Structure 1
Amino acid sequence: MFLKRIELQRDLIPTYNEYPFSIPTIKTLDQLEIQNQVTFFVGENGSGKSTLLEAIAEKCGFNTAGGGRNNFYDVHRSESALGEFIRLSWWPKVTNGFFLRAESFYNFASHLDEVAAFNAYGGRSLHEQSHGESFMSLFSNRFNGNAIYLLDEPEAALSPQRQLAFLRILYDLVQEGESQFIIATHSPILLGYPNATIFNFDEDSIDEIKYEETSHYQITRYFLENRERFINEIFDDE
């Protein structure tokens, strides 16, 4: 494992009344200890998990639009608002890795076509594959050992079956390749990775939470076990 700690440098913050420090979890952050090769960030949209992940990517030297250290292209408003205010502690420091930003993956695939670099991603343009296939090509061909991978909603293009296939890729890289993953996700399937650390962003502070305590697990389980009742509750006009 490489990244050990994320610290907020409070002495550099000009005001807490503006984004990103208006987000409760970011405002209250002092430091976050990373003690696992696989760490998940969970929470509702706007809870700060992607904001923190982007900041980590910037400090790693990755393109915050998506990619590694050698992918140079721009996407509007992809820069990190938090990056200059955090400090990362490493042991040892690694420079290899990748930041997956699902919402701008199309732009990353276009960038690979422009520089004719798709041979390293399975030998075929990512645009010539389905969305899910292109994600799996990235995971299977670009990810290797001795690296840190920051993934923002990797399940966005993956069917449940492909999410399970991704879990196997994740397992192999962690076991054999000495890789570290920090993943922001809404997927109860991915969150089920064994012995992972899960940090919850849904309260005023970032706290570790058990898998069975996540709203993702509880809502999904309740829906599957009580589908008709759940649907009736949602559609009840009274």
Structure 2
Amino acid sequence: MRDDLYVTSLSIDWEGVPERGVYPFAVPAIASIETLDLASSITFFCGENGTGKSTLLEALSVAYGLNPEGGTRNYTFSVHDDHSELCDHVRLLKSIFRPRDSFFVRSDTLFNLISEMDVLEDDRRYFGGRSLHSVSHGEGILALVSRRFGGGGFYVLDEPETGLSQLGQVALLAEIVRLAQASSQFVIATHSPILLTAPGAVIYQFDDEVREVDLRQTMEWDALNRFLDDPEGMLEEFLDG
């Protein structure tokens, strides 16, 4: 564990929640959280769709002061303001260290984020005047991480593997590890078993509760290996289901 991390834990102030039986507070994984240890250079949230990973990640970002639809503290655009009330009850324990940069990337709002970057002329500053609208979704994510991000940053990524090939995901993994080695901190929601192999990462599995697991205990790793071992058999399971 590094001693120069920026956010060391996340907790939920349940006493301030007016009604725990409604979304998102009633989502089982979120309802199980008291405090999550984030004292790692790379922390992953993984699990099935609908288990609260992205909801918690968004709340963390907003609680940190980042724009809920992506970007930095200075990005104020809003196309569809639908973030949950969870952010009002998330408490972050920050260290004495302050990052040089911070950024939130949501796969589902990447198009709008890139449009805002063009307005702010970040395309000139980081991408040689070329708008990321001119590349694919996956290439845009990879360009953001490799050219916009830097050492000493706090970065929150929601399903950054979207649109990337397997080799593209390995390239993204390498960039994340490189930045983590340069004093950056990442919190990432992902379905990618490739990203989950990041050395030294802490992995939280979201299901009926949130629990820390090893790589080979994750649903993502298990599902991939089951499929590779017997693709026809696994397909039949779903066809019969």
Q: Is the CA contact (8 Å cut-off) linking 2:28 and 2:207 kept in structure 1? A: no
SS of corresponding position for 1:40: strand
CA distance in 1, matches of 2:10, 2:90: 7
Look up the equivalent residue of 1:226 and give its one-letter code.
D
CA distance in 2, matches of 1:235, 1:201: 26
Q: 2:82 aligned with 1:102, yes or no?
A: no
Moved more, 192-201 or 115-124: 115-124
CA distance in 2, matches of 1:60, 1:163: 27
Q: 2:7 aligned with 1:8, yes or no?
A: no
CA RMSD, aligned part only?
1.5
Q: What does 1:1-150 correspond to in 2, within 5 Å? A: 1-94=5-98, 96-123=101-128, 124-150=130-156
CA distance in 2, matches of 1:42, 1:220: 14
Aligned-pair CA distance for 1:142: 1.0
Aligned-pair CA distance for 1:111: 1.1
SS of corresponding position for 1:68: coil
Q: Is the CA contact (8 Å cut-off) linking 2:71 and 2:105 kept in structure 1? A: yes
Aligned-pair CA distance for 1:208: 0.2
Moved more, 151-160 or 126-135: 126-135
Q: Is the CA contact (8 Å cut-off) linking 1:5 and 1:89 kept in structure 2? A: yes
Moved more, 186-195 or 115-124: 115-124
CA distance in 2, matches of 1:47, 1:93: 32
Q: What does 1:149-160 correspond to in 2, within 5 Å? A: 149-160=155-166
Q: 2:215 aligned with 1:211, yes or no?
A: yes
- TM-score normalised by length of structure 1: 0.94
CA distance in 2, matches of 1:80, 1:63: 13
SS of corresponding position for 1:230: helix
SS of corresponding position for 2:178: helix
Q: What does 1:180-191 correspond to in 2, within 5 Å? A: 180-191=185-196
SS of corresponding position for 2:96: coil
Moved more, 124-133 or 75-84: 75-84
The verdict on how the C-alpha distance between 1:235 and 1:79 changes in structure 2, with shifts beyond 3 A counting, is closer
Look up the equivalent residue of 2:173 and give its one-letter code.
L
Cα deviations by residue, 1:111-147 (Å, 9 ceiling, x for unpaired):
1222322123312101111212211110111111111
Aligned with 1:226 (options 210, 218, 230) = 230
Look up the equivalent residue of 1:178 and give its one-letter code.
S
CA distance in 1, matches of 2:191, 2:207: 12
Moved more, 12-21 or 26-35: 26-35
Cα deviations by residue, 1:173-204 (Å, 9 ceiling, x for unpaired):
111x200001000011111112211001112x
Q: 2:175 aligned with 1:169, yes or no?
A: yes
CA distance in 2, matches of 1:64, 1:85: 15
Aligned-pair CA distance for 1:81: 2.0
Q: Is the CA contact (8 Å cut-off) linking 2:54 and 2:189 kept in structure 1? A: yes
Aligned-pair CA distance for 1:232: 2.8
Equivalent residue pairs, number: 235
Aligned with 2:206 (options 187, 201, 207) = 201
* Partner residue, 1:192: 197
Percentage identity across paired residues of the two chains: 39
SS of corresponding position for 1:154: coil
CA distance in 1, matches of 2:73, 2:150: 15
Q: Is the CA contact (8 Å cut-off) linking 1:64 and 1:80 kept in structure 2? A: no
Aligned-pair CA distance for 1:93: 4.5
Gaps spanning 5+ residues in structure 1: where?
none
SS of corresponding position for 2:150: coil
